[in-house]
Amino acid sequence: MTLRTRREVLASLSVATAALPLLGFTSVPAVEKAPKAIFPPRLKPGDTVGLICPAGAAFSKEVVQITKESIEALGLKVKMGKHVFDRFGYLAGTDQARAEDVNSMFADKNVQGILAIHGGWGCARLLPLLDYKTIQKNPKPLIGYSDITALLLAINAKTGLITFHGPVGSATWNKFSVDSFRQVLFDGNPVLFENPKELGDNLTLTKDRITTITPGTARGKLVGGNLTVLTGIIGSDYLPNWKDAILFLEDTNEAVYRVDRMLTQLKLAGVLDQVKGVVFGKCSDCEPGKGYGSLTLEEVLEQHLQPLKVPVYSGAMIGHITHKFTVPVGAEAEIDATAGTIKLLGSAVA
């Protein structure tokens, strides 16, 4: 190809590229406008909570019974999902059956809140089957963590409904977790999420410590959940807008190289470049591998999150742990990475 021909081709390409927006094409997909935030009604004694299994199967009737008794001890009534005890391999029934329970609980006027009994795997399979219009017209708290992250994020993205990364029904309902649950969902307080500072008989704090990766404060919409589940739906339209968000993450039983891989995926997908702050909760059983020269989780977090130059800290009570916060997905909050706190800027419920 001659120099002149090459120039002619480049000139033609430039004209064609400039015309793409006029033809309805852009090189970068347009960011979908986020729906207006919907605050679900707060829970109150006597309300009915629907129990569902949207992911893994309920292999133990005793666990389901303990869940029922725990919710009743909170002063709430319980309605079991029609398909709670269904089983389809490792799933709690077919995709259609599990989606039916989610949709039915939102449509039921006699149900004021929805709680997943446990996680596992399978929620992402339900996302195309959910009735988002019905969900949007019947706002109520949806609560869970781990695999439930897919439902929390998708429903918030599609409807604007504030959802809640908190205990599943089979979790340990201890005082710490119950207090956080009540303050957010019953009292509607602008909660300050702060790790416990119990020394016991030690000279200094030895557990549930905060690690400041980049100091500072930042405000934004809380978005996040389980790292594995979140990265599993990257590229779909079931994720909220990341721009100026506060990203929170947690995980369990992941090799450090896999955490490294998933954070790399968030970076390459452009997520990390958009957020105003990051809170990494607990990564339970995420120790370095036995191989030579393994990185530690601390090193991986620093390598990925320090270059963002936004406030970042790790160690928050978010994750596969017995004592956990109830964090509203989609609510406005301020983080203080130096103090290791998250403060809601208003009530997460109506």
Interval 74-120: pLDDT, tens: 999 999 999 999 999 999 999 999 999 999 999 999 999 999 999 99
Query: Domain end: 185, 220, 250, which one?
Result: 185
Low-confidence ranges of the chain (pLDDT < 70): 1-32, 289-293
Same domain, yes or no, for 168 and 210?
A: no
How many structural domains are present in the chain? 2
Interval 12-47: pLDDT, tens: 444 444 443 443 333 333 345 789 999 999 999 999
Query: Domain end: 164, 185, 206, which one?
Result: 185
CA distance 311 to 172: 31
Q: What is the pLDDT of residue 10?
A: 39
Same domain, yes or no, for 121 and 58?
A: yes
Q: What is the pLDDT of residue 325?
A: 98
H or E stretch covering 329: strand 327-329
| Beta pairing class for 327-329 and 163-165 | antiparallel
Q: What is the pLDDT of residue 26?
A: 34
Interval 322-334: pLDDT, tens: 999 999 999 999 9
Residue 203 one-letter amino acid = L
Same domain, yes or no, for 231 and 158?
A: no
Task: Please report, for the domain that includes residue 80, its CATH number.
Answer: 3.40.50.10740
Q: What is the pLDDT of residue 33?
A: 74
Query: Which residues participate in catalysis according to the annotation?
Result: 146, 250, 320
Residue with structure tokens 């004209």?
15
Same domain, yes or no, for 232 and 319?
A: yes
Q: What is the pLDDT of residue 284?
A: 92
**Neighbour count for residue 72 (Cβ, 10 Å):** 12
Q: What is the pLDDT of residue 287?
A: 84
Same domain, yes or no, for 84 and 227?
A: no
Please check whether residue 42 lies inside any domain of the structure: no
275 is in which domain, residue-wise? 192-344
Same domain, yes or no, for 60 and 163?
A: yes
Task: Please report, for the domain that includes residue 237, its CATH number.
Answer: 3.50.30.60
CA distance 189 to 53: 29
Please check whether residue 8 lies inside any domain of the structure: no
| Ordered DSSP codes for 156-192 | HHHH-B-EEE---TTS---HHHHHHHHHHHTS----E
Query: Domain end: 137, 153, 185, which one?
Result: 185
